[in-house]
Amino acid sequence: MSSHREAPEISKDPVADSTDLYAWVDSASTVTIIANYVPLEAPAGGPNFYEFGDDVVYEINIDQTGSGYPSITYRFRFTTTIVNPKTFLYNTGPIMSLTDPNWNRRQTYTVSRVDSGGHEQVLGTGACPPCNVGGRSTPNYAALAQSAVTTLASGEKVFAGQRSDAFWVDLGAVFDLAALRPFENLHLIPMPAAPGVNSLAASNVHSIAIQVPIARLTATGQVVGDPKSRNAVIGIWTSAHRQKVRMESEEGESVGVGPWHQVSRLGNPLFNEVIVPMAKKDRWNRLFPHYDANFAQYVAHPELAGLLPVLFPKVFPNLAAYTKPRADLLAILLTGIPTGVVPGFQNFTGTTQADMLRLNVAIPPSASPNSLGLIGGDPAGFPNGRRPGDNVVAIELLAVAGATIPLVDPSFTPDAAASLLTDGSALTATLLNTFPYLGVPYDGFDVPQPSPA
């Protein structure tokens, strides 16, 4: 999964687990960034429904220089309030507004902007909507959640709360020796081919969404019109931080003590999940992207590229014979794609190898989005940022299988399967056309069951 339970330690701490990061140009003047946390939320997860952690600092980081360090950070801190300490219930009647007395456990937040020198400016506050309990407890949920969208005086629009998970993947197939259902008949242990299944078809997640004027993100402080300009490209990652020491109070609450340290991060989807070895995953989560040259060897020689010819005998002979370092993946994931590799496109941030979601803010939104992004001929999609509708599992499978090698090594001929490989799953969550874009979360009473895509 994109980063759901991707490392041993963070899998035990879901409220701090960065699960997905999206960033794309959504208008001529704005970029929307969405950072998701708390993976695999069951909609009927009461009486203690899901929420952000009061003891976690959540950050969205923007690098303007290609250093792998943040030039700008949007920082979110949450506060939980219990309205009625005498009830065990999340709500004691229908929740009709964000201040409804029937809603017993609610969250508010502050959002601030931190510059590269560490100066922090509080931009404003907001309220989270409740989780989508069901039609009786949270009637007209779409409108209730939309009322939680806040426009800050500095120009940003923000939302924090539960959403339906827009990531899709066939987890059962991927983790069962990559037995991708559409190609099961070609597997080392063959079975009849079958349609893929979206394992997240009924899952929710907690999202922090921020829509930012482009001029607030670039090094020049202006909208950049030339896609070839270095100032048009920014690097983005999300992170979560806890205090070094956690103590249990007499009331049974966890109390943080000491300095803050990073416990999770996410730039490109699937990086820690698929690229970083198990023994190094927890260490990776604690580092700035600046240090990712230490993991470049795993990008240059990805384990999955070596496994595909073994798991799918006779399907990937050219990939099996290719022993050169994967310069295509090093560019896509660690430096951005330089000018001249893909005609008319670049999202290069420099020679510092850093796992960041790189976005060229001078490339306008696509009138006809292709879910395969750049590899499908759509420069407004992944790996130029990432839109919720981008099929990143298929894109990265195709890339690892060798479909992008000819960009840097024309002598290589991809295997036929390199242009077809997919897990066969499909997006089942409904997306919105306006901010915050991710759809209404599944409600706990009418929980849909996963079905074949």
Q: Quick check: is 441 in a domain?
A: no
* Phi-psi label, residue 209: left if phi above 0, alpha if psi -120 to 50, beta otherwise: beta
pLDDT at 359: 98
pTM of the prediction? 0.95
pLDDT at 430: 93
Helix, strand, coil percent values for the chain (each to nearest 5): 20, 25, 50
pLDDT at 381: 98
209 has a pLDDT exceeding 80? yes
Closest CA to 136 of 86, 87, 96, 82: 96
253 has a pLDDT exceeding 80? no
Q: Quick check: is 302 in a domain?
A: yes
Q: Quick check: is 224 in a domain?
A: yes
2 has a pLDDT exceeding 80? no
pLDDT at 1: 44
Strand partners, 164: 204
Q: Quick check: is 447 in a domain?
A: no
Tell me the pLDDT band of 449, cut-offs 50, 70 and 90. low
Q: Quick check: is 446 in a domain?
A: no
Structural domain of 193: 10-419
Strand partners, 61: 73, 237
Place of tokens 């946390």: 37
**DSSP states of 29-76:** SEEEEEEEEEEEE-TT--SS-----TT-EEEEEEESSSSSS-SEEEEE
Prior bond of 139 cis (ω within 30°): no
Beta strands in 175-232 (DSSP E): 204-213
Q: What is the pLDDT of residues 36-78, one digit of tens each?
A: 999 999 999 888 999 999 999 999 999 999 999 999 999 999 9
Place of tokens 């990652």: 237
Place of tokens 């360090």: 69
CA Rg, the chain, in Å?
22
Q: Work out how many domains the chain is built from and give that number.
A: 1
Q: What is the pLDDT of residues 126-141, one digit of tens each?
A: 999 999 999 999 999 9
Backbone angles phi, psi at 279, to 5 degrees: -70, -15
Q: What average pLDDT does the segment 350-361 reach?
A: 98
Q: What is the pLDDT of residues 138-155, one digit of tens each?
A: 999 999 999 999 999 999
Mean pLDDT, the chain, whole residue set: 94
pLDDT at 349: 97
Element (H, E) at 236: strand 233-248
- Is residue 287 classed exposed, middle or buried when 0-12, 13-18 and 19+ CB atoms within 10 A define those classes? middle
CA atoms of 250 and 253, how far apart (whole Å): 7
Q: Quick check: is 452 in a domain?
A: no
pLDDT at 254: 76
Q: Quick check: is 89 in a domain?
A: yes
pLDDT at 188: 95
Are 392 and 270 within 8 A, CB to CB? Answer: yes
111 has a pLDDT exceeding 80? yes
Structure tokens given for 327:
């310069």
Q: Quick check: is 425 in a domain?
A: no
Beta strands in 83-156 (DSSP E): 105-115, 120-127, 150-151
